[in-house]
Amino acid sequence: MNDLVLKPGGASLADWRAIYRGATPVLDPACRGKIAVSAEAVARIVARGEPVYGINTGFGKLASVRIPAGDLETLQRNIVLSHAAGVGEPMPVPVARLMMALKMASLAQGASGVRQEVIDLLQAMLAADVVPVVPCQGSVGASGDLAPLSHMTAVLIGVGECFTPHGRVPAAVAFVSHGLEPVTLGAKEGLALLNGTQFSTAYALAALFDAETLYQSALVAGALSTDAARGSDAPFDPRIHLLRRHRGQIETADALRALMAGSAIRESHRVGDERVQDPYCLRCQPQVMGAALDVLRKAADTLETEANGVTDNPLIFPGGDHGDDTALSGGNFHAEPVAFAADMIALAVCEIGSLSERRIAMLVDPALSGMPAFLTPKPGLNSGFMIPQVTAAALVSENKQKAYPASVDSIPTSANQEDHVSMAAHGARRLLGMVENASSVIGIEVLAAAQGCDFHAPLASSPPLEAVRYLVRAEVPHLDDDRHFHPDMEKAIALVRTRALIEAASAVALPALSGDPA
């Protein structure tokens, strides 16, 4: 992908989405002046000789220990190495790249006292696709994401491992092969790099962008299921939703109505259908999916703000000609906003998958759908969609267990100095797995809905939904007799995760997180 000019403090949600999907961030040159002024302020504070937390003292519970000027570089190196204490699997490379970009943008706002050369190294690593290997467990989301950001920072000083285009290698080897030079961290720089919410925010943003794809795919699948069940589009009438006034509900109903417009299947059942009302999984899609969209948008607003903030500690406020440079200790590293946003995303993802599973269950039940049991022409001899529905149920229940709010938990750390923590890291890190689970449920639903629509031949669905059905049938043929089901499911799930399902229905503008294209 092309380079993306990143404006520290003013990046859009679309910018962060593009970086997550592969764009290379290049800092706006206009920020260089603020970076220099901030670094010069730290140098003046050091020269004054007064004890200032994070610059010439110990850290956390050891803040009262004064460090001599000759040991300040060692102090910064020590904090990086000692805090690189994470465990678990490495962060996915796209999420780690996003974390690096978030840290780069935060430092470039001139409130962290970090020199330009340190920030330039982060940018050069991103350009060369040299990404630190960062264990994903070990942060409680307060005092910053200390352990994971320390693993990132260790690579900057030549310690640890990197993912590169040529594989996973030691940092020193990666730097030599890509013409990079490790840095020697000066006063405040190590702490500035490992302090902050960028790990939690990167995971939450990544999940948010994938949840947007999930939501839009679920709308398409839900419309196709409604047609397969010969459901009514009357519940999507705009007059209903305007009375309730929720933006997400109104936009979701509009999209569902547009997806079904012109369906011959729907038209064939307008007269003579004895059913008065459809099950909630069809009828209440605007209410449930619209509420999920509103929650995702609220989370997006929080995370966009967080991504543009400065969250390390202490923060540097240069005094300029007056000489009253100030380092203020506060708590911007506490990731409670990210924890709340992550919990909101978890709830929305859980409900999107739950509603989809109910539609699958409805389609395979002949008493509700009016179609052959388990969507097979020869039930009994064949099991059809019996067990894929069970798989969907299992995935939904797994997501329910994972959706318990992380933000209500806390555990004291650092000898009780850090006595309330956000758990944002865990709350954000669980989300990608939840989205994967729900995406698999949507993939199963798409197969079931396409199978259901097949039973209505020669009647066709709407043009957008027929385009979706054509896409599905190009990958997975109609199920006449039982066959190895797993490959079919994998192909359908891939259509969800790659946005192919959304693109097939692109004649209809689907609601998104913001006005930016998804």
Q: How far apart are CA 45 and CA 318, in angstroms?
A: 10
Look up 470 and say whether it is catalytic.
no
Residue 517 parent element (H or E): none
Beta strands in 7-99 (DSSP E): 24-27, 87-90
Q: Which of 313, 340, 326 is nearest to 146 (CA)?
A: 313
Residue 66 parent element (H or E): none
Q: Which of 20, 53, 203, 215 is catalytic?
A: 53
CB 200 within 8 Å of CB 87: no
DSSP secondary structure, 170-208, as one string: EHHHHHHHTT-------TTHHHHHHSSSHHHHHHHHHHH
Contacts 24+ apart (CB under 8 A), 410-418: 411/140, 413/140, 413/142, 413/143, 414/60, 414/61, 414/143, 415/60, 415/61, 417/60, 417/61, 418/60, 418/140, 418/142, 418/143
Determine how β-strand 24-27 pairs with β-strand 3-6. Answer: parallel
Q: How far apart are CA 508 and CA 503, in angstroms?
A: 9
Largest CA distance in the chain: 89
The total of other beta-carbon atoms located within 10 Å of residue 498's CB is 11
CB 148 within 8 Å of CB 199: yes
Q: How far apart are CA 151 and CA 425, in angstroms?
A: 15
As annotated, the active-site residues are 53
